[in-house]
């Protein structure tokens, strides 16, 4: 410390010195808000929208354990467990596996910010809202973005993807695994191989599908994949698992410019999560310690359940739901049964009804959240998410009953 | 939905169709990790480092209430309460007040990403690590960054700041209120006025000081200010209150280019937090619902306590601590008493000792975290944070006892 400098500071600037505590002598002029002086309560509700899904008590309890330092040995051990849990859930042996300290959108930015430089060509598959978002993110950092677009409810053939890869020569191809806005689960096989043939990284958004629909990161040649905590994992939103292949890391760590975000810079995150083979972890940012406890617990439940059992349950429960829908006169939006996302079902908005009245009626009378469309599916569909602990047949019966009741009591125009 | 297209998809691409469930038939090859099949426990520990601080049971309980949708009426009401709580804590009437869904670093990026465009001139005051970080963030988005630098433990006079404003004509001036790496609380009076005279926005990082040291956002002409949840507010890390003046909003909403981050774009966040006078809130990202419960509770405790009481308690407890330090032969790093940060105290690293041995000894034998230096203060100081519920005299006595014990038992070289 420069003592001389401090002395000078105290003596030479009278104006400054007198101002030091001037403001602190003034009275407050924004009073304590009344609303904060009352306690608040939160209702219990069935969260059968596209997420967040309900959080089981076991996970809430895990997240309410005592706070630890973000670099304490126990916290680091929990982070290591989370890495193992993500490797299992993603079916990958990638060393570069971690959780972003933010929601799925932060993970989407982490993936794109790190793998794309200004001026790079990027190819985005748009068959719903998530492709649009990825394109917007890539555009903001100056990428040359090309899109292939298909209508809501459908998906891409591999030959269409290959044609675009050949035409645009992108460094990155973005695809949504579970398109929650349209209810489509996208086939993945063969695409990674195609990307690599064209010297392109394969990025998959599996926010809405992971744990509910099969995906094998390594076997399917995926280079970057992320998910959110608040879907099948039933963990509160706020953390986002992500993983990078060796191929992705090679490109990322040989880029010419720094990623625009320090907070999401993989070279820092890699060290913070102990993925970079350095012995010490440096302070980067303060991770969400208690949210990590919850994430660990959600991954533990998935490990106990078993991925294959979880996939099968989501598939069976969704099929049971889809049969029930037909029985009460409703129609799944995605006709191709194989392409129906097992976690989030889209239902053709019942003709003659206002979808808002239906979701409002069900919330008010059944304490159940279901939702309308999003992005390209607005006004076209109702969306029902049954994820993780919410994926079970008694809940399906409950929703079918609520829908039947809503169709009976909501206003129907004569069409 | 394009039905014809779906039919074509199913018929025309045999390779694709056969591959649809190919991977899902394969066995898993990353097994469920053993470490997740055991339960985990978290020790209770006194967190007297620079943060995160201990979280009182009341806040942990608030955060373990049932999950709600991120746009449910009750969640929006909680967000409104949070806005009021931040307005009180910041002493501002800014409409543009909200919490970023991430740690303090995300708020720092939110502030800089929105207020600075590529090529803009930015002035950063560096008297510790936070200025360095802000400079790095601004550089990454292509700003022309100029710094004024002073030694660890000291701060800037207003005439030095004015000189730099006049020389560099920045659009933004960054200053750290509570420099937790060096233990300095920076004077704020008059600086906002200076900035405005030079047509510059005044950005203040009050992560480590807010609630523990007086600051008046409106009265002190601050344009952008943010803090973290995990310091004086005693809330788990993962949310970061931030506020923008009308002047800041005018500049931000008339910028020519989009901010690099979609996740942190203020025009989206403004709508999500109901700050933009539009009637409906559109989906932007999924906010950390339960973390918002906790943040609301932390702000409620501050409102109940009263800002002035909180400021006074932190000041008194810090003074009591500093006297105690002198009594046991230790020396506060910041000589100028007025400039000592009441939330995080820096202590001159005891000569002849290895600081790592001291912090390790105290953790092992007293279950107390204190920390070494950070950035420019590494090796020079020990750091002790007493924030929010941790700011009380019995804890000071406990730390003094632990330090005395450590000085007795740790190895001392003959210097």
Measured between CA atoms, how close is A101 to chain B, in angstroms?
Answer: 6
- For residue range B152-200, what is the model confidence (pLDDT) as tens digits? 999 999 999 999 999 999 999 999 999 999 999 999 999 999 999 999 9
Q: Do B67 and A84 touch (CB under 8 A)?
A: no
Nearest to A393 by CA among A304, A318, A332, A342: A318
Residue range A149-181, pLDDT digits in tens: 999 999 999 999 999 999 999 999 999 999 999
Mean pLDDT, to the nearest integer, of B363-385? Answer: 97
> pLDDT at position B3, please?
37
Please answer whether residues B77 and B83 qualify as being in contact, where contact means their C-beta atoms are separated by less than 8 angstroms: no
Q: Is the pLDDT assigned to residue B16 strictly greater than 80?
A: no
Confidence of residue A26 (pLDDT cuts 50, 70, 90): low
Inform me whether the pLDDT recorded for A25 exceeds 70: no
A338: left (phi over 0), alpha (psi -120 to 50) or beta: alpha
The pLDDT value given to residue A92: 98
Residue B415 has pLDDT above 50, yes or no: yes
Q: A121 pLDDT band (50/70/90 cuts)?
A: very high
Average pLDDT score over chain A: 93
- pLDDT tier, B28 (very low <50, low <70, confident <90, very high otherwise): confident
Of B261 and B414, the structure prediction assigns the larger pLDDT to B261
How far apart CA A334 and CA A332 sit, in angstroms, is 6
CB-nearest to B216 from A26, A55, A155 is: A26
B65 touching A (Cβ < 8 Å) = yes
Numbered residues of the known binding site of A for substrate: 383
- Are the CB atoms for B137 and B177 separated by under 8 Å? no
Residues of A with CB below 8 A from B1's CB? 151-154, 333-335
Q: Using 50, 70 and 90 to split pLDDT, how confident is the model at A280?
A: confident
* B157 or A15, which is more confident: B157
Q: Of A359 and A282, which is predicted with more confidence?
A: A359
Residues from chain B that touch A101, judged by Cβ atoms under 8 A, are 102-103, 106, 238
To test the contact with chain B by mutation, choose from A37, A288, A356 the residue with the greatest count of B C-beta atoms within 10 A, namely A288
pLDDT in tens, A64-91: 999 999 999 999 999 999 999 999 999 9
ipTM of the complex: 0.93
B35 close contact with A: CB closer than 8 A: yes
What does the pLDDT average to over B387-392? 98
Inter-chain CB proximity A136 and B262 less than 8 Å = yes
Contact with chain B for residue A187, Cβ under 8 A: yes
Q: What is the mean pLDDT of residues A377-405?
A: 98
Residue B7 in this model has a pLDDT that exceeds 80:
no
Is B16 part of the contact surface with chain A (CB cutoff 8 Å)?
yes
Over pLDDT 90: what percentage of chain A?
Answer: 91
Please count the other Cβ atoms lying within 10 Å of the Cβ belonging to residue A89: 28
| pLDDT over 50 (residue B6) | no
At B319-347, the pLDDT tens digits run 999 999 999 999 999 999 999 999 999 99
Q: Which segments within B280-413 are labelled E, that is strand?
A: 344-348, 368-369, 371-372, 381-385
Which chain A residues in 328-367 lie under 8 Å from chain B, judged by CB atoms? 333-336, 338-339
Q: What percent of chain B has pLDDT over 90?
A: 91
Residue of chain B nearest A188, judged by CA positions:
B20
The secondary structure element, H or E, covering residue A327 is helix A307-327
Per-residue pLDDT at B14:
33
The model carries a pTM of 0.94
For the segment B257-312, what is each residue's pLDDT rounded down to a tens digit?
Answer: 999 999 999 999 999 999 998 878 889 999 999 999 999 999 999 999 999 999 99
Of B28, B91, B230, the CB nearest to A28: B91
In degrees rounded to 5, what are phi and psi of residue A241? -60, 140
CB-based burial, A248-282: b 16+ in 10 Å, e otherwise:
bbebbeebeeebbbbbbbbebbbbbbbbbeeeebe
Interchain proximity B105–A285, CB inside 8 Å? yes
Q: Minimal CA–CA distance to B235: which of B114, B394, B89, B371?
A: B89
The set of residues, in sequence order, having a beta carbon less than 8 Å from that of A38 and lying 6+ positions away, is none
**pLDDT > 70: what percent of chain B?**
93
Nearest to A336 among B6, B42, B214 (CB): B6
Contact of A170 with chain B, judged by CB distance below 8 Å, is answered with no
- pLDDT category at B414 given cuts 50, 70, 90 is confident
Query: What does the pLDDT read at residue B26?
Result: 63
If you count DSSP H runs as helices and E runs as strands, how many of each does chain B have, helices first? 15, 14
Checking if the pLDDT of A36 tops 70, the result is: yes
Q: Is B102 in contact with A104 (Cβ distance < 8 A)?
A: no
Query: Which residues on A lie below 8 Å from B137 (Cβ)?
Result: 261-262
Average pLDDT over chain B reads: 93
Report the C-alpha gap between B149 and B131 in whole angstroms: 9
Q: Residue A213 above 70 pLDDT?
A: yes
**Pick from B15, B238, B306: CB nearest A32:** B306
Q: Give the contacts of B375 (CB within 8 A, at least 6 positions apart).
A: B128, B129, B132, B181
Which pLDDT tens digit goes with each residue over A297-317?
Answer: 999 999 999 999 999 999 999
**What's the CA gap between B292 and B79, in Å, rounded?**
7
Taking residues B43-52, report their average pLDDT. 97
Residues of A in contact with B12 (CB under 8 A): 157
Given a cut of 50, is residue A252 above it in pLDDT?
yes
Could you tell me if B14 lies within 8 Å of chain A, comparing CB atoms?
Answer: no
Which residues of B define the annotated binding site for substrate? 383
> What CA–CA distance (Å, rounded) separates B363 from B346?
18
Residue A386: closest CA among A313, A306, A300: A313
């Amino acid at each position: 410390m420069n003592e001389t400098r401090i002395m000078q500071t105290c003596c030479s600037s009278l104006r400054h010195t007198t101002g030091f505590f001037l403001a602190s002598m003034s009275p407050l002029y924004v009073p304590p808000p009344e609303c904060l002086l009352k306690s608040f309560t939160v209702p219990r509700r069935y969260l059968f929208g596209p997420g967040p899904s309900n959080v089981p008590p076991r996970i809430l309890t895990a997240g309410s354990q005592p706070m630890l330092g973000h670099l304490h040995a126990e916290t680091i051990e929990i982070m290591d467990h989370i890495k193992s849990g993500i490797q299992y859930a993603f079916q990958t042996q990638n060393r570069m596996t971690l959780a972003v300290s933010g929601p799925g959108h932060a993970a989407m930015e982490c993936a794109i910010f790190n793998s794309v430089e200004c001026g790079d060509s990027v190819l985005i598959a748009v068959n719903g809202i998530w492709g649009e978002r990825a394109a917007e993110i890539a555009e903001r950092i100056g990428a040359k973005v090309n899109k292939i677009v298909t209508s809501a409810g459908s998906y891409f053939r591999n030959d269409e993807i290959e044609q675009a890869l050949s035409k645009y020569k992108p460094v990155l191809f973005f695809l949504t695994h579970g398109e929650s806005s349209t209810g489509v689960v996208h086939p993945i096989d063969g695409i990674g191989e195609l990307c690599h043939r064209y010297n392109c990284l394969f990025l998959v958004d599996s926010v809405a599908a992971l744990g509910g629909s099969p995906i094998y990161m390594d076997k399917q040649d995926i280079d970057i994949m992320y998910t959110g905590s608040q879907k099948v994992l039933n963990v509160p939103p706020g953390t986002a698992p992500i993983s990078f292949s060796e191929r992705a890391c090679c490109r990322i760590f040989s880029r010419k410019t720094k990623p625009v975000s320090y907070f999401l810079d993989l070279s820092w995150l890699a060290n913070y999560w102990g993925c970079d083979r350095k012995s010490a972890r440096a302070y980067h940012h303060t991770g969400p310690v208690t949210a990590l406890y919850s994430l660990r617990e959600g991954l533990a439940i998935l490990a106990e359940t078993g991925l294959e059992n979880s996939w099968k349950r989501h598939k069976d429960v969704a099929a049971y739901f889809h049969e029930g829908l037909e029985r009460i006169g409703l129609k799944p939006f995605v006709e191709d049964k194989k392409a129906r996302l097992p976690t989030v079902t889209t239902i053709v908005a019942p003709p003659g009804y206002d979808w808002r009245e239906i979701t409002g009626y069900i919330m008010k009378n059944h304490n159940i959240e279901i939702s309308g469309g999003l992005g390209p599916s607005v006004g076209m569909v109702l969306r029902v998410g049954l994820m993780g602990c919410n994926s079970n047949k008694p809940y399906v019966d409950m929703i079918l009953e609520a829908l039947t009741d809503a169709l009976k009591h909501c206003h129907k125009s004569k069409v």
